[in-house]
Amino acid sequence: MKKVIISITALALLLTIFLVIMKMEYGKIADKTGGKTQVSAETETTNESVEEADDSSKGPQPHQYPEYTPDQVTKPEGPAIATDDLAVLAASENDTAGAGESTDGETLSGTAGMVSAHGLDFYRVSRNQIGILWSEDTDPEVVSYTIYRCSVVNNVGAGDWVKLATVNSDGVNGGSKNAYIDVLSDTKPVQYGYGVLATLKDGSTYTSAGIETIVASNIRVCIDPGHFAGRNTVDGQYRYCEGNFSLVIAGELGKRLHAYGISCSYTRTGPTIAIGGYANEELDGYHIKLRGQYAAVDGCDLFISLHTNSNQDNAHGYPTFSQPKSINHPLVIVNTLACNNQTALNVANSIGINLVNANYKANLSTVTNYASAAVGQVPGWDNNINDSLNVNGMTLCRLNNSGKDYYGVLKGATEVGIPGMIVEHGFHSVPEVRYAAMQGGLAGIWADADAYGIAYGFGFVDKISY
């Protein structure tokens, strides 16, 4: 296998800056509600069906979320370490080597004389190149870093560590992060565990803290937090704004995908969106395809647009934003490319199934079924699907009269050759849903479903639901 070693790169610097910005943005957005006060309905999905009501329209009862930790949040265990290399590793046997852990923030002085290749992170370079990064501040104490790799099965490290390469230290604390690019033999979706072990200089006063490990893959997903801040605001009982909450979901999703070793690109990381010189209303009103096309910028493998749904005004005789829980069902609308792509449909179906379960478990819906779609047999849009009470969630597509994608964001992704989907996680016209969003926790519950579905679609977990 060919290996390429790169030293300090602008890419590493950019990544670091990006991560810092992301961190700042997500810290700020949690409770922003935008400036608008009028009630504005979701405009993407409407219909005129009226069916029987249920008795859950008397207003939400405060409730607590169950303690709920899906499997994928659990950090995977590291594999057993191969016995050949490793006098140095022997000194670190009590290091659990949990794949997926990184130790950002440690410093030489802060680790009581211990040195390790800390600050480990990854980025998907391309479908056959995975980049690994770690801090350079240990370089003065280190001769070289040895890179190891292991298999990952069901998001858990498996088999032995295999030595990939040795990267020499430049002996200087400064510059950008150390980096190594693993060149894969093909482009199939794959997760690996990577370990980096520092070899200290002779006579160093420090001790090795052992191998640092992380999970990384060759998959990159473009996350599109729907709309922009202030868009689709429900004022009154349990104030809510879709354009704000979609960004909160995006932040939670990004964290979870990172734990799967999946890299992410974002159409926006703050309240506003600007692509190709167009921002907010102008972008969404006249150039919305640019959102979907953005997935091509980093060569993403999948485009996912995050939304919450609504219904036609006063559907079923209930006030527009006081709909019963029985209207709440997830819809995953795939683009025309995804209709014929098994991986993308596996993602869509798994997300939908897990959203149905999550919404029901959180007492936000009465719906327990989800209709998955098969390649070449994805059902089309029907207005009844959106507003009906007590119907299952489903994977579907929506085409315009020309047989192209109805939604601009999905059309944009199709045009750049990337399978994509809109995920309508639940109905914000249901007061209980808005209440749950306001309480916190709901974004994480939904992001669990999204991240798991993506991991399932790419074959990183083997069961369709958790």
70, exposed or middle or buried, with CB in 10 Å at 0-12, 13-18, 19+? middle
Nearest approach, Cβ of residue 424 and Zn ion (Å): 7
Consecutive H or E run containing 410: helix 408-415
* Helices within 194-266 (DSSP H only): 242-259
DSSP result, 3-60: EE---S-HHHHHHHHHHHHHHHHHHHHTT---S--S-----S----------S--S-P
CA angle 62, 315, 389 (to 5 degrees): 70
Binding region for Zn ion (CB under 5 A) out of 27-35, 163-171, 174-182, 225-233: 225-233
Q: Pattern 135-174, binding to Zn ion, x per CB under 5 A?
A: ----------------------------------------
> Smallest gap, in angstroms, from Cβ of residue 157 to Zn ion?
38
Interface with Zn ion, residue 425, by CB under 5 A? no
Of 118, 307, 325, 425, the residue at the interface with Zn ion (CB under 5 A) is 307
Minimum CB–partner distance for residue 206 and Zn ion (Å): 53
Q: What is the token pair recorded at 122? A: 């990854």
CB nearer to Zn ion: pick between 241 and 436:
241
Quick one: 226 or 419, whose CB is closer to Zn ion?
226
Residue 426 touching Zn ion (CB under 5 A): no
Assess 419 for contact with Zn ion (CB under 5 A).
no
Question: Which residues in 28-47 contact Zn ion (CB under 5 A)?
Answer: none
Which of 289/307 has CB closer to Zn ion? 307
Sequential DSSP letters for 253-283? HHHHHHHTT-EEEES-SSS--EETTEEHHHH
User: How would you classify residue 165: left for phi > 0, otherwise alpha for psi between -120 and 50, otherwise beta?
Assistant: beta
Stretch that binds Zn ion, among 307-315, 345-353, 425-433, 435-443 (CB under 5 A): 307-315
**Of the listed pieces 149-157, 186-194, 219-227, 458-466, which binds Zn ion according to CB under 5 A?**
219-227
Tokens 């069902």 belong to residue: 329
Looking at the Cβ atoms of 179 and 437, the one nearer to Zn ion is 437
Residue numbers of the site for Zn ion (CB under 5 A)? 226, 307
